[in-house]
């Protein structure tokens, strides 16, 4: 079971789209998705595909692969969720 301190952790991340690096922050959302905040100020459309997401965990970059952005209203300042398209990760185990 995930405790509240785990769900509040925000990790620095970098998304890649067409070789462009996009700084972001991610936060645990569900076992199979993370919330995302884009730090470049760009508003991305629902279902935008990204080539890769790398999350910094314990001072190391963890490359998670391609993902799709899903917009979601009113989730504490985050733009929406990222769902991975090549692999399924249990974020509860990965992030904590």
pLDDT tens string 11-54 = 999 999 999 999 999 998 887 789 999 999 899 999 999 999 99
Domain count along the chain: 1
Range scoring the smallest mean pLDDT among 18-22, 46-50, 59-63, 79-83: 59-63
- Amino acid 81: pLDDT: 95
Q: What is the DSSP string of the chain?
A: ---HHHHT-EEEEEEEETTEEEEEEEEEEETTEEEEEETT---PPTT-EEEEEEEEETTEEEEEEEEEEEEEEEETTEEEEEEESS----HHHHH-
Q: How confident is the model at residue 80 (pLDDT cuts 50, 70, 90)?
A: very high
The CATH code of the domain that includes 69 is: 2.40.10.220
Kindly tell me if the per-residue pLDDT of 75 is higher than 50: yes
């Amino acid at each position: 079971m995930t405790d509240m301190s785990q769900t509040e952790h925000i990790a620095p991340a970098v998304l890649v789209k067409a070789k462009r690096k996009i700084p972001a922050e991610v936060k645990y959302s569900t076992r199979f998705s993370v919330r995302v905040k884009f730090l470049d100020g760009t508003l991305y459309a629902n279902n935008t595909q990204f080539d890769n997401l790398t999350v910094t965990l314990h001072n190391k970059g963890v490359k998670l692969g391609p993902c799709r952005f899903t917009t979601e209203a009113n989730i504490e300042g985050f733009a929406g969720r990222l769902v991975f398209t090549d692999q399924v990760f249990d974020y509860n185990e990965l992030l904590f």
